[in-house]
Structure 1
């Protein structure tokens, strides 16, 4: 009996020892929360620079002129830029529209989807299209506006990072709203 008790005790000790050593693994600290990026509420001011149009722009941006009424609207903290290009209409509205649409649909290879949202402001004679590009495309938003007879503007946003929509989504949403504000506030002179 003594021998049986000793074997049972030995087995029990080995079992307990096995339980304590078998469950050990690398201890990995768990993050307390996900990264949350918050940006301040946008404040807009009218931008005018001797061109045939004006628009409202976020006060957090830096604007550089790139010639011929083209502008880079830079978001330094978000590492993104809205590129604005102006072209006069000289009986070539069909070509300008085709080029703007072609620019958007060149991203179809990487895009999950492209949503078109028409824009019409009859009072100020501003007509156009806003494109939302989903997925890991180089740009996630573009637009064009025109009065159909004299002026044509195209805008697109690009980030200084490898396109990974999950990573840039907060900044992309913020800038996309600013692009809509630019588009809606354009006035011809």
Structure 2
């Protein structure tokens, strides 16, 4: 038998031996995400003169006046955003006066419903929770499951004059798993906003 053939058979035999000896099965590690350190929950009051509403919002957030709605000016000066720089997120608040400029109450409710349900192609589910507070605020809080662009939304109203809509967005790809801790943290702040909301 030629020398090269014997060498090849020996190498092949050693390779088979080592492969047979390794019985460990590979277990993939779960995907990890960055640990987010959340601030302590403390609130202050948004009480700007001239605004038709007031509420409490977190001390770790900033109020920024919204000057553009899809490239156009908002229909009134009471649209604001609550910016969370440390969490890379924002709650957009749009305010409408019921009955003004074709803002019929039922149309406003239907529009809020449609805007939430635009996310159905990415959503795994949409839960609706009723809002009713002692300050004459009612409405619906929407929880949108899955990789939707906005997973928490609400509308709050007195049904005769005031209509406020809120939607939470993050400046990142909508990945429910990685954003879950931040979404859960800010959901409590959204509920606190709704529960402390008062009309003027």
Question: Shared topology, TM-score over 0.5?
Answer: yes
What is the Cα deviation at residue 62 of structure 1?
1.3
Aligned to 1:40: 39
CA distance in 2, matches of 1:62, 1:111: 29
CA distance in 2, matches of 1:103, 1:18: 63
Tell me the SS of whatever aligns to 1:64.
strand
Structure number with higher strand proportion: 1
Aligned to 1:142: 153
The residue correspondences of 1:73-92 to structure 2 (distance < 5 A) are 73-90=82-99, 92=104
**TM-score for both structures, normalised by structure 1:** 0.81
Question: Which string of whole-angstrom CA distances, capped at 9 and with x for unpartnered residues, describes residues 99-154 of structure 1?
Answer: 11111011011000000000112x32111110000000000000000001110000
Between 1:50-59 and 1:36-45, the stretch displaced more is 36-45
CA distance in 2, matches of 1:150, 1:53: 11
Matched, 1:114 2:113: no
Matched, 1:159 2:182: no
Tell me the SS of whatever aligns to 2:135.
coil
Between 1:87-96 and 1:109-118, the stretch displaced more is 87-96
CA distance in 2, matches of 1:176, 1:142: 9
CA distance in 2, matches of 1:35, 1:84: 29
The residue correspondences of 1:125-136 to structure 2 (distance < 5 A) are 125-136=136-147
CA distance in 2, matches of 1:105, 1:86: 20
Q: How many residues align?
A: 171
**TM-score for both structures, normalised by structure 2:** 0.77
Aligned to 1:8: none
CA distance in 1, matches of 2:34, 2:163: 40
What is the Cα deviation at residue 43 of structure 1?
0.4
Tell me the SS of whatever aligns to 2:169.
strand
Aligned to 2:70: none
In structure 1, stretches of 5+ residues that fail to align are 1-10, 24-29
What is the Cα deviation at residue 18 of structure 1?
4.2
Aligned to 1:101: 113
Q: Radius of gyration: which is bigger?
A: 1
In structure 2, stretches of 5+ residues that fail to align are 1-9, 23-28, 68-76
